């Protein structure tokens, strides 16, 4: 990070003494004010139950208590109530979606678009609230064999917890301490390890799925100065298929490559120059990273970084703040949610043609949508 950005970020932090993480509590209106150019995605022309088409998008409505089903061309067509402030979600091959909310993990049957259950957390997280710092589930992942769900549970003011859910019994079977505010949870390709990214503790906790033995690995390419008030923390990670290393983007300037076997971090340069959050991998190994927009005064605007396996990058500009990203099964289209955890969010998704032949298109969908999956 440039010295100017560091000074700017620290000055902003000093003025915001209430900070406990990435930013102050979101104060944007539901339509994102001037940043939003499309209305909230109100479901219409509902598809018959049992006929949810392949390629439908499912988004977690962090600004409400639902998940929204979205046609990637026409917009939202149905909603299902899941619980307060849903954050992350994951969908299994059996057609069940698992949604991390403030109240528990909701189970949604995708074909019928109905909630089947909501599994309460074993961890005490305090009163059910909304907003960036609310207690409850954040990152969530599914074991490769589909037998367990792993959810990172935020405990306000304390370390987080990884809760393990048996997908058959729909019960929490184990709880494991991890880092603070587990923004993201990922699983190794062989299912032997789970990785919880601790936003407020600058680390990734590796959890062995057979023994539940844990190991915390610091990931702080800018250092940990500023503690809870620092902007320069890990947010989302992806597991690189070829070697099992974790890729964690920082500030559009540095990509931390974490080897979970050794705990060592190698840093590679990035080019977007903006505060980064969501990340995913396309089928060909291309890394997609969401730039949320300016934090410091010299940050660039919101963007989507398209980083090839060889490290070459293209940066596609986005209109207004965004948070997370998913990619179509053919790898040609990215879907970027507008429900940024900070202020200025908007109620929709940006559809990005990764070939660059057509410009990004905004699509009204959901209420402050964060997590997203392609069905």
**Which DSSP category does 41 fall into?**
B
What average pLDDT is seen over the chain?
89
Q: Report residue 116: phi and psi, to 5°.
A: -90, -30
Percent of the chain with pLDDT over 70: 87
- 28 has a pLDDT exceeding 70: no
Maximum pairwise Cα distance, the chain: 56
Q: Give the CA angle between residues 259, 316, 335 to the nearest 5°.
A: 75
Choice among 6-15, 26-35, 56-65, 146-155 with the minimum mean pLDDT: 26-35
Domain map (residue ranges) of the chain: 3-16+28-374
Note the helical H segments in the chain.
3-14
**When comparing pLDDT for 69 and 32, which is higher?**
69
**Local confidence band at 317 (pLDDT 50, 70, 90 cut-offs):** very high
pLDDT at 233: 96
Of 263, 313, 273, 262, which Cα lies nearest the Cα of 295? 273
Span 185-207, average pLDDT: 98
pLDDT at 344: 79
Note the helical H segments in 94-244.
none
- 343 has a pLDDT exceeding 60: yes
Span 162-179, average pLDDT: 98
CATH superfamily for domain 3-16+28-374: YVTN repeat-like/Quinoprotein amine dehydrogenase (2.130.10.10)
End-to-end CA distance of the chain: 37
- 7 has a pLDDT exceeding 80: no
Percent of the chain with pLDDT over 90: 81
pLDDT at 25: 33
- 15 has a pLDDT exceeding 80: no
pLDDT at 82: 98
**Local confidence band at 51 (pLDDT 50, 70, 90 cut-offs):** confident
Of 209, 208, 154, which Cα lies nearest the Cα of 184? 154
pLDDT at 49: 64
Choice among 49-53, 54-58, 238-242, 367-371 with the minimum mean pLDDT: 49-53
How is the beta sheet containing 303-307 ordered, strand by strand?
275-281, 287-293, 303-307, 313-317
């Amino acid at each position: 990070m440039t010295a100017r950005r560091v000074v700017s970020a620290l000055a902003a932090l000093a003025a915001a003494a209430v900070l406990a993480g990435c930013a102050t509590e979101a104060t944007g209106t539901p339509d994102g004010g001037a940043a939003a150019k499309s209305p909230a995605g109100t479901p219409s022309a509902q598809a018959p139950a049992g006929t949810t088409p392949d390629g439908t998008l499912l988004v977690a409505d962090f600004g409400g208590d639902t998940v929204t089903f979205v046609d990637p061309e026409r917009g939202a067509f149905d909603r299902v109530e899941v619980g307060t402030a849903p954050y992350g979600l994951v969908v299994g091959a059996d057609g069940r979606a698992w949604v991390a909310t403030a109240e528990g993990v909701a189970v949604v049957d995708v074909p019928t678009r109905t909630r089947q259950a909501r599994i309460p957390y074993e961890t005490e997280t305090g009163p059910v609230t909304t907003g960036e710092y609310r207690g409850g589930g954040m990152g969530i992942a599914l074991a490769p064999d589909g037998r367990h769900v792993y959810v990172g549970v935020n405990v306000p003011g304390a370390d987080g917890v990884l809760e393990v859910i048996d997908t058959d019994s729909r019960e929490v079977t184990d709880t494991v301490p991890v880092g603070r505010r587990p923004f993201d949870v990922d699983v190794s390709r062989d299912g032997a390890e789970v990785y919880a990214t601790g936003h407020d503790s600058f680390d990734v906790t590796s959890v062995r799925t057979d023994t539940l033995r844990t190991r915390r690995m610091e990931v702080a390419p800018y250092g940990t100065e500023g503690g809870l008030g620092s902007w320069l923390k890990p947010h989302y990670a992806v597991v690189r298929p070829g070697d099992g290393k974790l890729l964690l983007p920082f500030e559009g300037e540095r990509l931390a490559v974490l080897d979970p076997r050794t705990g060592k971090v190698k840093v590679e340069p990035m080019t977007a120059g903006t505060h980064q959050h969501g990340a995913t991998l396309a089928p060909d190994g291309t890394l997609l990273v969401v730039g949320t927009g300016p934090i410091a005064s010299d940050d660039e605007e919101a963007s989507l970084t398209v980083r090839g396996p060889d490290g070459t990058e293209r940066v596609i500009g986005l209109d207004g703040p965004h948070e997370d990203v998913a990619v179509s099964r053919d790898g040609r289209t990215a879907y970027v949610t507008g429900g940024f955890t900070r202020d200025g969010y908007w109620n929709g998704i940006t559809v990005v043609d990764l070939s660059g032949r057509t410009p990004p298109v905004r699509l009204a969908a959901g209420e402050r949508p964060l997590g997203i999956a392609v069905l």
